[in-house]
Amino acid sequence: MMQPVSLADIEAARRRIAGRIEPTATVPSASLSEIAGVPVFLKLEHRQTTGSFKLRGASNAIAQLSAAEKARGVVAASTGNHGRALAHAARLKGVRAVICMSKLVPENKVAEIRRLGAEIRIVGGSQDDAQDEVDRLVGTDGLAMVPPFDDAAVVAGQGTLGLEMIEAVPTARTVLVQLSGGGLAAGIAAAVKGLLPSTRIVGVSMQRGAAMKASLDAGRPVQVEELPTLADSLGGGIGLANRLTFQMCKNLLDDVVLLTEAEIAAGIRHAYAAEREVVEGAGAVGIAAILAGKVRLDGETVVLVSGRNIDMDLHRGIVCGSWADATEAR
């Protein structure tokens, strides 16, 4: 089936972002292979510059701007990994980046993105207010909006992970990938299935606010209530006017599994204790899905570790066992 982002688009993205991102290692996991009974490999993308894969999509989007767009700059509403990635990718190319956030964003998050070279605009009391400011700046300053997932250049950039996975594990039968807005899963699925059509792609989300899963079940983009979760980078909706990622996930994902907060905590703990890796909640959901026995595996399996930007006090609480599952106790 023709997809809006093809294998050729992803290969072009890879050439475009070469030298601006780190190709990351794919390593066998002895502990997860023993638990799963099949060879399990971890794609260590949490070690990417800025701490997540979002640098791939942001770098590809910036590389595809016209000279006039580059001269004016880019803008996004993001408090997290997309904001960091866009700030870093823009600075590398000498492009102005404006990141819009609401007043509710904690000062340490604001400072991190400012340190990466972005201009910060604090507006209003919600993510919607921040998005209104983005739309305003697109109009007044002619800035180019770089969306976090629903954009062909962003999807193609994230898809470069799939090329690296299959080069490292050419016989992969299953790939586990985080699922939120779906830019990551759509890109990886297009790359992997473009190279190895019979490889299964399984999306993994948290139970608390899984917008893409709810949308796939409904057959159209739907809104879900946003709830606090350890996998905070997987929060947020897919956009009721979703253009690309809903269709691509519908066409390309073989299955979606959902995890409890306790299961996600176990994934973070396992990453630290058994793999010696500091991983954020969203980054650990693939590992967590294997530990929870929630995916059927029939051969070589590649598990994406997507990010490491977790509050270190929270991380300490989880790995020391003092973190309590307050959300599910209610």
What is the contact surface with ligand PLP in residues (CB under 6 A)? 52, 54, 81, 149, 178-185, 233-234, 280, 282-283, 306-307
Least gap, CB of 241 to ligand PLP (angstroms): 16
Take residue 54 and report the two structure tokens written for it: 């979002």
Q: Which H or E run includes 114?
A: helix 107-115
Q: Please identify, using beta-carbon distances, which residue of 178 and 260 lies nearer to ligand PLP.
A: 178
CA angle 275-36-249, nearest 5°?
A: 90
Give the residue at shortest CB distance from ligand PLP.
Answer: 307
Least Å distance between CB 8 and ligand PLP?
21
For 19-75, the DSSP string reads: TTB----EEE-HHHHHHHSS-EEEEEGGGSGGGBTHHHHHHHHHHTS-HHHHHH-EE
DSSP strand pairing (255-259 vs 200-206): parallel
Integer Cα distance of 20 and 39 in angstroms? 31
Nearer to ligand PLP, 171 or 223 (CB): 223
Beta carbon nearer to ligand PLP, 73 or 237: 237
Query: 41 vs 149, which CB is nearer to ligand PLP?
Result: 149
Nearer to ligand PLP, 205 or 301 (CB): 205
As measured in angstroms, the least distance from the Cβ of 223 to ligand PLP is 16
Place of tokens 């595996």: 297
**Least distance in angstroms from the C-beta of 306 to ligand PLP:** 4
Q: Strand pairing partners for 26?
A: 43
- Closest approach, Cβ 330 to ligand PLP, in A, equals 26
